[in-house]
Structure 1
Amino acid sequence: MSAPAWPVALLLGATFALGPAAQAGAPAAASLADLSLEQLREVVVTTVARRPERLEATAASVYVISADDIRRAGATTIPEALRLAPTLSVARADANQYAVSARGFNNVLANKMLVVIDGRPVYTPLFSGVFWEVQDVMLEDVARIEVVTGPSTALWGSNAVNGLIHIVTRNAAATAGALVSANWGDRQRSAALRYGFDGGAGGHLRLYAKSYDRQDTHRADGLSVGDAAAGTQVGFRGDWALAQSTLTLQGDAYRSHIDQGATTRRLGGANLLGRWERTFADGSDMSVQAYVDRTTRDQPGAVIDKLDTVDLIAQYGFRPADAHRVLLGAGYRHARDDVTSFDAIAMIPAVRTMGWGRVFAQDEIGLTRRLAVTLAASVETNPYTGAQLLPSVRLAYRPNAESTWWGAISRASRAPSRVDRDYVQPARPPYLIAGGPDFVSEIAEVYELGFRAQPVPALSYSVTLFQHEHSRLRSLAPTAQGLQFQNGYRGRTRGVEAWARWRVTPAWRLDAGLSLLQQKLALSPGAIDVVGVQGLGNDPRQSWSLRSSVDLSARVGWDVSVRHVGELPAPRVPSYTAVDSRLAWRLAPRTEIALVVQNLFDPSHAEWGNPANRVELERSVLLQLRWQP
């Protein structure tokens, strides 16, 4: 039996053997905790239309990771939780860094995915992406993670080209009392404490604190990479229900350090967010959100970066007629980025003050009882290229209550970052590499066709076909001033993403996912590049996953997942199949202990990097405790 096939056979054999037993032996109270969320018609998402809507009617490729999914997977970080979405490509580069993307262009500095935590984009203008080693929340407080693949730029702005990840935490009213969680393992240790209480004036508050300690990873030759890390984070959230409105205040502060050989990378930051929402008597609604964010990054040999961000956005939704639902909004983000460089690299100017402004509008039109079209567009300005129009058209057809056909055409962009325009290497002339003074936004014209169905209450599935036509992708070309970033590449990305959820019995659920990708990129006529297409990302042509969740009894739950990732082409990373297992016991109604084993049948495998120095991710064992007194 081939390597990719035998873990699946083991999983299916075990679950089919145990599934009937679980059904017979487990009372109703022991069934999967999120069974109501398994019914597609009851899942509500807020990301696609910037308002609540049922997943079944959404004209987009959406996968929802529930709170129970995260718990049963034994995830301890946001990227590990994101592995649960079969539409995402998640590769771990070392103890702290991940490459996360969708539909191609994956990299530890991936720049075509927008990530949002409770409406707050966690975005760095350095490279238009996310530093995953500093993004953290208390996972026990996460209500769900909405993963939208495909463009979301019409409502969320530039950089949501290949998708948007929205991490939504629970309302403070849902987290009353104390919760303690702890993880002890051979590769990591962590602990978290949360306490929720009455906030007065019809409100609720929660406070939390957490810390972690991660061990070094190792190369194939056994040498340590020297990337151990430790950090702490504290935060709060308060929610108040007023007469016809709600008010949310929340904030976080963190500090961490990461070994990097003989030096140490030091990271820190804090944010504060406020959101006011009101529903009026005529059914219209309005929301205003503002946040401030401060991040610092002291990375010896690279940069010392201090980024201050202020962001304000407001939107108003109303119905001018029965067949129309209109959303109007505007936002502005102001940032001051101060980069102190070392001799190796620099940003010129060292300090840049930047502003991004945008207005957006959407009209959801019910053409017939079964057919609806959504027209949306935003006009956005950025510090480098001025205004750009980002439109989309989405069509949804519901032939019956159990299924939805949908299609979309969108224009998306990835706005220039500081690296694209301001980067120089070395810090003083003559420069070997420099940002391009004429670098403009990367553009994607995207076509999608999808089908989503729940033919019976226990089974739901989704299939999406997509094609992205890319232009003005980044290249590195020789000039009289040295190598400069230019917009030299164009090409096409097409593929299929599919997932299914089957509740085999009240106590047993199977989840499966598949992603197929074909990418063809080439230089535009007259363009020159010295790096090659591997500089744009490294992606598998295919990946799939299978996950089984079984309640063996009222107190015992067992989860097994198999994920296969195809070979990465350049630099070459061999394909791998990983099997993870989690066995949990409920010691009391609100107390659980679990044993998590990752990479169960393989001592190690690589997921990212050059063969000479890449990390081999070793088998790991983790004991988890969750206690709510």
Structure 2
Amino acid sequence: MSYPTEDRRLRPTRIALACLCAALAWPAAAQSQADELADLSIEELATIQVTSVSKKPERLQDAPASVFVITADDIRRAGARSLPEALRLAPNLQVAQRSSYGYAISARGMNGSSNSAPNKLLVMIDGRSVYAPLFSGVFWDMQDLMLEDVERIEVISGPGGTMWGVNAVNGVINISTKAAGATRGGMAVLRGATDGVDAAFRQGGQSGDIDWRVYGKALRRRHSEAEDGARVNDAWRQAQAGFRADWARGEETFSINGNVFRGAPEQPEPGEISVSGTQLRLGEIDTEGANLTARWERALNDGGRLSVQAYLDHARRDVPPTFTESLQIADVQFQHTLPAFGRHSLVWGANLRHSWDDVENSEAIAFLPAREEQTWASLFAQDEIALRSDLSLTLGARIERNDYTGNEFLPTARLSWRLAPRHALWTALSRTVRAPTRLDADAFIPGRPPYLLRGGPRVRSEVARVFEVGYRGQPLAGLSFSSTVFHNEYDHLRTQEIDPTYTYLIFDSLMEGRATGIEMWGSYQVTPMWRLSAGFTALHERLRLKPGSNDAAGPGTAGKDPEHALQLRSHYAFDDPRELDVGLRKVAALENPAVPGYWALDARFGWRVAPGVEVSVVGENLNGGHAEYGAAGMRAEIDRRVGVKLTWSL
């Protein structure tokens, strides 16, 4: 083929019942654990510092946005092995696993649009954006860390375009690793489970005034099985290494970190695909990447702050027999936080990103032109105005330019009212967009005559106008609670149209819709040794075609989102070295493609057998396997998994 040269229902097992009984029946008398739990006390939750809402430190209690913080201790107690598994702890996210390494993750719906994976969620690791410009989504098998080095994950559900730019439509995930000075000494992690093994090490130290650490990890996952027991070709192996260094000189701080990885996941689809009558064999995917991020900050004498961050990112993904992409990104960001003057607190900045994208086309799919360079440039400002001592108004806007649609305007207005020291209300109006990508505009699939699908020159930016009202506070002693009601109005959503001559398909932007929902979560300290937490989301999403569209399947993409989800978690400390965590998740059924709703029961028992040595036993889906995402016959059954983890710290 030549191309133009132009450019199940809940059935608790005996193990699960034993875990639940132990959590409820063990006497809560060991007060020595109270000091350790105090690090995450209900009272201190309100004073946690977050930075993702306004790009400057502020108390979680004061942040006028729907924010959930996953701490390092949360990740440890959950027994998570990967970033997607850790993200399951955020009740304001939808996390659906479709293979041993593949996930569909989003917030507030849109967990997969027409002929595409989720593409409206911005994900950052230490300030480096990891969404793929090819389709505005995330290849989760290419994003990994040593989770023991993660300090926190801030999850914002809702628009973040003013502070973070296009594609921060339904949410922002900001993953921050620990400062090198907090990881001195050595650590080794060994883990074995019924579906695979992994190992990691870390060594940190100090050389002069420079704190540093290095790490390495390797993993191997066995293949999954479908509901009928058939093998799903999704085995996976990967190796990764990296470093971080931090130092300070006077009022200046410096940080640099880098990572390199190589992976080989298998393709879970059937072994062959047919293109224009030709049978093409699916092979093993080959992934590799390397990135380097540097950051400089200076505290100014007048109370302001300057910061500059730059990163280089290389990624290569070979997916035989469809395509191979080699992507390089260079990004630089500047930010100036001004000292407070009068009632105003202003922050402004600029961002410039350039990419070099090279795709090796095949008989199955092509991106035309095969080589493409793109530039994104933006300027933003946000002012927090203290109207009264208990009332503040935040006004902000970003102008961002991209090569497909030109300038995009991303404004927001947020009002925060402190009702009482432990109670706050907030509301917000925002406009944000998802800019077109190469998949929208440059994708071609061969067929007769001569293409089955041609790129979409008329594709526009997908627009979301969002209204939010939220509450965050401590209604009772020992109880924290957060709730947000939201309404999204979408326009120019992507569709797949039949051209007027009925000879090929083309991408367009002829769908609109709305989504209304609620998300809430809370935590209750029952005793100094026992904490309960819960989260719930509900979503009503409807999409409709605009005049001129013939994409009958488009509105059905709303069926990729569950109408509700519930999670309950219990953390119990028997005594200083022993603890038990039990989690229960319920997710409603999906309509398109049909996936039954499911319950999942998880548990972890951890025991610090000696200073610096911890052994934990983790069980997931203890009540039995289930499917979470994808069409029957092609998706993996997420089965029961039991594993043991050994952590040795020096």
TM-score (norm 2): 0.93
Q: Of residues 301, 305, 317 in structure 2, which corresponds to 1:281? A: 301
**Partner-residue secondary structure (3-state), 2:265:** strand
Distance in structure 2 (CA, Å) of the matches to 1:192 and 1:379? 42
Distance in structure 2 (CA, Å) of the matches to 1:18 and 1:622? 20
Shift, 1:555, TM fit: 1.6
1:235 aligns with: 242
One-letter code aligned to 2:136: S
CA contact (8 A) 1:199 1:238 kept: no
CA contact (8 A) 1:31 1:551 kept: no
2:185 aligns with: 177
CA contact (8 A) 1:185 1:623 kept: yes
Unpaired runs of 5+ residues, structure 1, are: none
Distance in structure 2 (CA, Å) of the matches to 1:38 and 1:509? 13
Distance in structure 2 (CA, Å) of the matches to 1:165 and 1:199? 33
Distance in structure 2 (CA, Å) of the matches to 1:380 and 1:366? 28
**Partner-residue secondary structure (3-state), 1:56:** helix
Q: Are 2:530 and 1:508 equivalent residues in the alignment? A: yes
One-letter code aligned to 1:390: L
Q: Are 2:121 and 1:101 equivalent residues in the alignment? A: no
Distance in structure 2 (CA, Å) of the matches to 1:344 and 1:142? 39
**Partner-residue secondary structure (3-state), 1:264:** coil
**Partner-residue secondary structure (3-state), 1:367:** strand
2:599 aligns with: 577
Q: Are 2:238 and 1:217 equivalent residues in the alignment? A: no
Q: Of residues 601, 623, 642 in structure 2, which corresponds to 1:601? A: 623
Shift, 1:27, TM fit: 2.1
Distance in structure 1 (CA, Å) of the matches to 2:448 and 2:328? 26
Deviations 1:357-410 (A, max 9, x none): 000000000000000000011000011010011000000000111011000000
Q: Of residues 619, 623, 627 in structure 1, which corresponds to 2:644? A: 623
Shift, 1:14, TM fit: 6.7
Distance in structure 1 (CA, Å) of the matches to 2:340 and 2:23? 55
One-letter code aligned to 2:478: A
List aligned pairs for 1:48-447, cutoff 5 A: 48-107=53-112, 109-200=117-208, 202-260=209-267, 261=271, 263-319=283-339, 321-426=341-446, 430-447=450-467
Moved more, 287-296 or 518-527: 518-527
Given the superposition, is the C-alpha separation of residues 34 and 70 from structure 1 closer, same or farther in structure 2, using an over 3 Å criterion? Answer: farther
One-letter code aligned to 1:84: L
Shift, 1:587, TM fit: 0.8
One-letter code aligned to 1:222: G
CA contact (8 A) 2:264 2:287 kept: yes
One-letter code aligned to 1:98: Y
Moved more, 131-140 or 255-264: 255-264
Distance in structure 2 (CA, Å) of the matches to 1:14 and 1:478? 55
Given the superposition, is the C-alpha separation of residues 7 and 564 from structure 1 closer, same or farther in structure 2, using an over 3 Å criterion? Answer: farther
1:562 aligns with: 584
One-letter code aligned to 2:200: A
CA contact (8 A) 2:12 2:622 kept: no
Given the superposition, is the C-alpha separation of residues 99 and 513 from structure 1 closer, same or farther in structure 2, using an over 3 Å criterion? Answer: same
CA RMSD of aligned residues (A): 2.0
Shift, 1:3, TM fit: 4.6
2:635 aligns with: 614
CA contact (8 A) 2:183 2:204 kept: yes
Shift, 1:321, TM fit: 1.6
Shift, 1:217, TM fit: 0.4
One-letter code aligned to 1:66: T
Q: Of residues 457, 470, 474 in structure 1, which corresponds to 2:490? A: 470
**Partner-residue secondary structure (3-state), 1:96:** coil
Shift, 1:16, TM fit: 8.1
Shift, 1:303, TM fit: 1.1
Distance in structure 1 (CA, Å) of the matches to 2:60 and 2:639? 37
1:32 aligns with: 37
| Shift >6 Å, 4+ stretches | 10-14
Shift, 1:199, TM fit: 3.2
Distance in structure 2 (CA, Å) of the matches to 1:270 and 1:37? 40
CA contact (8 A) 1:39 1:458 kept: no
Distance in structure 2 (CA, Å) of the matches to 1:11 and 1:82? 22
Deviations 1:238-260 (A, max 9, x none): 11121001100000000010123
**Partner-residue secondary structure (3-state), 1:617:** coil
Distance in structure 2 (CA, Å) of the matches to 1:375 and 1:439? 30
Distance in structure 1 (CA, Å) of the matches to 2:20 and 2:262? 42
Distance in structure 1 (CA, Å) of the matches to 2:365 and 2:183? 46
Q: What is the total number of aligned residue pairs between the two structures?
A: 625
Distance in structure 1 (CA, Å) of the matches to 2:317 and 2:423? 48
One-letter code aligned to 2:32: P
Moved more, 427-436 or 148-157: 427-436
Shift, 1:11, TM fit: 8.4
CA contact (8 A) 2:42 2:480 kept: no
Distance in structure 1 (CA, Å) of the matches to 2:252 and 2:447? 52
List aligned pairs for 1:442-591, cutoff 5 A: 442-456=462-476, 458-479=478-499, 480=501, 482-535=504-557, 538-591=560-613
CA contact (8 A) 1:605 1:616 kept: yes
CA contact (8 A) 1:307 1:337 kept: yes
2:276 aligns with: none
**Partner-residue secondary structure (3-state), 2:389:** coil
Shift, 1:531, TM fit: 2.8
CA contact (8 A) 1:213 1:229 kept: yes
Shift, 1:613, TM fit: 2.3
Deviations 1:42-85 (A, max 9, x none): 21111010111110000000000010000000000000000000
Distance in structure 2 (CA, Å) of the matches to 1:16 and 1:363? 52
Q: Are 2:47 and 1:42 equivalent residues in the alignment? A: yes
One-letter code aligned to 2:646: L
CA contact (8 A) 2:42 2:523 kept: no
Shift, 1:507, TM fit: 1.3
Distance in structure 1 (CA, Å) of the matches to 2:547 and 2:264? 46
CA contact (8 A) 1:328 1:362 kept: yes
Distance in structure 1 (CA, Å) of the matches to 2:163 and 2:439? 25
Q: What percentage of aligned pairs have identical amino acids?
A: 44
CA contact (8 A) 1:30 1:555 kept: no
**Partner-residue secondary structure (3-state), 1:24:** coil
CA contact (8 A) 2:559 2:593 kept: no
One-letter code aligned to 1:396: S
Distance in structure 2 (CA, Å) of the matches to 1:461 and 1:505? 17
Distance in structure 2 (CA, Å) of the matches to 1:39 and 1:178? 30
Distance in structure 1 (CA, Å) of the matches to 2:436 and 2:377? 15
Moved more, 288-297 or 452-461: 452-461
CA contact (8 A) 2:541 2:558 kept: no
Given the superposition, is the C-alpha separation of residues 13 and 231 from structure 1 closer, same or farther in structure 2, using an over 3 Å criterion? Answer: closer
Shift, 1:527, TM fit: 2.1
